[in-house]
């Protein structure tokens, strides 16, 4: 399944987005003396085991990297973005919160904490054993590691229903015939906790699309995200944006991703946005800020495959912040456009990122709009997808321009 097709209903948080400015264009300000993420290790975008090696091999490698090799950063590569809603439910049950843009890093930290509770570990079997009583009615799958976990084949209709966000039927009333597997295991040490994983193949890899951790041994596949959560909050209603802003933002993406013209696209960057650039490297010292921005845009283009439409090359993201109002525009599948309240836009600029974060007590009814807009998108890197690229726009004498950006790492 092409995971990029699933972003229409996905939400991203905006509070603190300026803190995680990595990736395509670099980050502003001086880096801290010790980056807290370095000790967690590099998290690859994709796992080490290719899908054709078998789902049992992928599951084993996930567990071995975690508890034997003590490299949970490599295990986290097996988590699909589709699993994030399950993880958010898990965090809420423990009265914690998943920080937007930091899900993978929080997973690594949690898995490292689990490792500290273990005694000497020489094999996966020292830590985990199969949860044999789990869903006995499902057919067992080929499994070279039966002493570590139980592996079953999950029918596509059950798998689709049990995803963290249920997969809707298509226009013909049918669902995708995606192949799913379920893995179940429990801890040998520190109590009888059972973890169940729902796996699906994405591109050339098996990835975890749903997860559940239970104290009892009769767990299902995933937590029901709607259980005990009460009525859903009303989503912010779309508004009509400034026609000039809509036109400029559309022209930027059409120039950059559509026509692959990084020079033309870089003209939309305001001088105010130069503060978002990281300190130049030795090879960049001779380049002007516009040239560095153009180089960053060009670097991303090299990873985007050809496509007929913008929506083939990128996909949109919306925000759960009810102060941000979605804007109706014809390319909403390719990129999201949101109106930002004038009262809080100043805290999003790169110049303000070194200041203590102050969240104003602003009610939606008191918010005024029209001066600032945020556009948000994910780029299609073929078998992978980029981090979320967030651009803050306002009108200058020359027209609507990008005054700040951030790249939110998954």
| Distance from C-alpha of 153 to C-alpha of 179, rounded to nearest angstrom | 8
Task: Quickly tell me which residue has 């973890």 as its tokens.
Answer: 195
- pLDDT on residue 33: 33
The per-residue pLDDT for 254 is: 94
Most confident of 16-20, 108-112, 168-172, 197-201: 197-201
Burial of 101 (0-12, 13-18, 19+ CB in 10 A): buried
| Mean pLDDT of the 197-203 span | 90
Residue 208: predicted pLDDT: 92
Q: Is 208 helix (H, G, I), strand (E, B) or coil?
A: strand
Taking the C-alpha atoms of residue 302 and residue 21, their distance in angstroms, rounded to an integer, is 21
**Predicted confidence band at 402 (pLDDT cuts at 50, 70, 90)?**
very high
In this structure, what is the dihedral angle of CA atoms 24, 29, 33, 39, given to the nearest 10 degrees?
-30
**CB 143, CB 151: distance < 8 Å:** yes
DSSP annotation string for 218-287: ---SS--TTTT--SPPPPPPPBPPPHHHHHHHHHHHIIIIIS--HHHHHTTB-GGGGGGSPPP-GGGTTS
In eight-state DSSP terms, residue 154 is E
Contacts 24+ apart (CB under 8 A), 391-397: 391/249, 391/252, 392/340, 392/345, 392/348, 392/349, 393/245, 393/248, 393/249, 394/270, 394/345, 395/242, 395/244, 395/245, 395/371, 396/270
| SS3 state at 373 | strand
pLDDT of residue 232: 40
Residue 365 predicted with pLDDT over 90: no
Question: Region 190-206: what's the mean pLDDT?
Answer: 83
In this model, does residue 183 exceed pLDDT 80?
Answer: yes
The CA distance from 220 to 3, in Å, is 24
Q: Coil, helix or strand for 84?
A: helix
Instruction: Report residue 176's pLDDT band, with 50, 70 and 90 as the boundaries.
Output: low
Q: What is the mean pLDDT of the chain?
A: 76
Strand partners, 196: 184, 212
- The answer to whether the Cα torsion of 388, 285, 273, 257 is positive or negative is negative
Every domain of the chain and the residues it spans:
25-31+235-408, 38-214
Residue predicted with more confidence, 10 or 408 = 408
Going by pLDDT thresholds of 50, 70 and 90, the confidence category of residue 24 is very low
- Give me the pLDDT at residue 410, please: 44
Separation CA 209–CA 78 (nearest Å)? 9
For residues 349 and 98, the model is more confident at 349
pLDDT of residue 344 exceeding 80, the answer is: yes
Q: Label residue 174 left, alpha or beta by phi (over 0 means left) and psi (-120 to 50 means alpha).
A: beta
Fold of 25-31+235-408: Nuclear Transport Factor 2; Chain: A, (3.10.450)
Distance CA 221, CA 227 (A): 14
Instruction: Give the confidence band of 343 by pLDDT, cuts at 50, 70, 90.
Output: confident
Q: What is the pTM for the complete model shown?
A: 0.52
Model confidence pLDDT, tens digit, residues 27-68: 333 333 333 334 456 788 789 999 999 999 999 999 999 999
Q: What is the pLDDT of residue 98?
A: 53
For strand 150-154 and strand 128-130, is the pairing parallel, antiparallel, or unpaired? unpaired
Q: What is the pLDDT of residues 79-92, one digit of tens each?
A: 988 888 877 665 55
């Amino acid at each position: 399944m092409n995971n990029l097709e699933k972003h229409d209903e996905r939400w991203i948080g905006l509070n603190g987005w300026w803190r995680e400015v990595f990736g395509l264009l670099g980050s502003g300000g001086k880096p801290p003396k010790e980056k807290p993420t370095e000790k967690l290790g590099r998290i690859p975008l994709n796992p080490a085991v290719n899908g054709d090696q078998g789902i049992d091999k992928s599951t084993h490698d996930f567990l071995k990297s975690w508890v034997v090799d003590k490299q949970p950063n490599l295990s986290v590569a097996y988590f699909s973005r589709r699993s994030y809603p399950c993880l958010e439910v898990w965090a809420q049950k423990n009265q914690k919160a998943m920080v937007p843009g930091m899900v993978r890093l929080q997973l690594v930290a949690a898995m490292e904490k689990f490792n500290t509770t273990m005694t000497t570990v020489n094999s996966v079997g020292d830590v985990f054993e199969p949860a044999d009583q789990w869903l006995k009615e499902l057919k067992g799958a080929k499994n070279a590691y039966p002493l570590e976990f139980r592996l079953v084949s999950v029918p596509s209709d059950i798998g689709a229903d049990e995803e963290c966000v249920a997969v809707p039927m298509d226009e013909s009333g049918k669902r995708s015939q995606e192949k799913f597997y379920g893995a179940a295991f429990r801890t040998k040490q520190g109590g009888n906790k059972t973890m169940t994983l729902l796996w699906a193949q994405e591109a050339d890899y098996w990835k975890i699309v749903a997860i559940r951790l239970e104290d009892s041994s009769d767990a299902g596949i995933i937590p029901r995200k709607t259980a005990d959560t009460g009525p859903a909050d009303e989503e912010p209603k779309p508004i009509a944006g400034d026609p000039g802003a809509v036109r400029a933002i559309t022209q930027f993406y059409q120039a950059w991703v559509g026509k692959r013209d990084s020079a033309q696209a870089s003209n939309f960057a305001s001088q105010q946005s130069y503060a978002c650039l990281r300190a130049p490297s030795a090879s960049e010292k001779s380049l002007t800020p516009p040239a560095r921005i153009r180089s960053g845009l060009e670097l991303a283009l090299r990873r985007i495959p050809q496509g007929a439409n913008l929506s083939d090359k990128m996909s949109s993201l919306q925000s759960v912040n009810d102060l941000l109002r979605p804007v109706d525009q014809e390319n909403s599948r390719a990129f999201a456009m949101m109106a930002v309240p004038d009262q809080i836009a100043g805290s999003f600029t790169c110049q303000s990122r070194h200041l203590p974060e102050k969240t104003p007590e602003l009610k939606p009814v008191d918010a005024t709009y029209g001066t600032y807009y945020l556009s948000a998108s994910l780029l299609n890197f073929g078998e992978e997808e980029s981090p979320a690229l967030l651009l803050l726009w306002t009108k200058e004498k020359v027209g609507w321009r990008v005054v700040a950006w951030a790249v939110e790492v998954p």
